[in-house]
Amino acid sequence: MENVVTLIAVPGTPLTLGLVRSVQDALAAAGARMGTPDWLAPGAACDIPLDAIAAPPAERAVRAAAPCIDVVVQQTSGRRKRLFVADMDSTIIGQECLDEVAATAGLGPKVAELTRRAMAGEIDFAAALRERVALFRGLPLTLLDQVMRDSVRLNPGARVLLATLRAHGCYTALVSGGFTYFTERVARMAGFDTWNGNVFGTADGTLTGEIAGPIGGAEAKREMLERLMAERGVVRSETLAAGDGANDILMLQAAGLGVAYHGKPRAREAAAARIDSASLTALLFVQGYRAAEFTGGD
């Protein structure tokens, strides 16, 4: 069959046979013809093959029938990707690094509000980034070490996701509008092949409140995706991107499959797929991996 709907359990709500049957009934009522459900992991993820029904009505039918699970509808062919690019803050890690720096320095509320508005697409990303970093002028670089040690944590499933993808030949890149101090360390923690980011201005062991070099935002994320495609001989349909904010939209839309992962409203609306509640291992189920194929561990 041409399409597949992947049902993924979320924390606290196992995927039951009853839920799968409810989804099948809803798809049948929407006019879909289905194949036999294929359990990728008992109680956690299940594929239902579909005929050529369009993805949007199929997804709407599933979400109406089972609002307590995550769902992705896509073409059956080409599900396993050769290139994965991911945002860092609130995607691979559960934090916004600049917010954590600000909180540690006693600047939390003002910086957090700027971050929220920038990620929601309410204000210009570059301008908001400059304004936030300017507030850090004079802070010691040791504060970054403290934040990395005490506050930055990988989201559940990150290491399994990266280890499994790399074991199956997928090249992985952390493409962040954040700063290389954090992206390099997070990339190594999670197991990415490469990473990018902006650079803090520093002098005499302190932050200058400036950004060294050009600011990498939404365009830079898309450009890195396309550069890696060219360098590695990967076609667009073989790429997967994940991110949560408005500055991820260009990257999500440029990928073969763009997934808004625990996304803000604008990212959810713009992306071809979304994972609202499940862990990062959902990105493996979306590609048709079975739990028995997972490697690594958190």
- Distance in angstroms (rounded) separating the CA atoms of residues 16 and 158: 25
Residue position matching structure tokens 């003002």: 110
Q: 258 near 72, Cβ under 8 Å?
A: no
- For residue 25, indicate whether it is catalytic: no
Sheet strand arrangement including 38-41: 38-41, 45-50, 3-8, 70-75
The span from the CA of 23 to the CA of 113, in Å, is 39
Is residue 150 part of the annotated active site? The answer reads: no
For residues 175 and 149, give the distance between their C-alpha atoms in angstroms, rounded to a whole number: 21
Burial (Cβ within 10 Å: 0-12, 13-18, ≥19) of residue 114: buried
Pairing of strands 45-50, 194-203: unpaired
Structure token digits, residue 100: 């954590």
Task: Please give the Cα distance from 126 to 215 (Å, whole number).
Answer: 7
- Identified catalytic residue from 25, 47, 70, 87: 87
Q: Which two tokens stand for residue 193?
A: 């092949």
Kindly name the residue from 47, 89, 244, 248 that is annotated as catalytic: 89
Give catalytic residues, as residue numbers: 87, 89
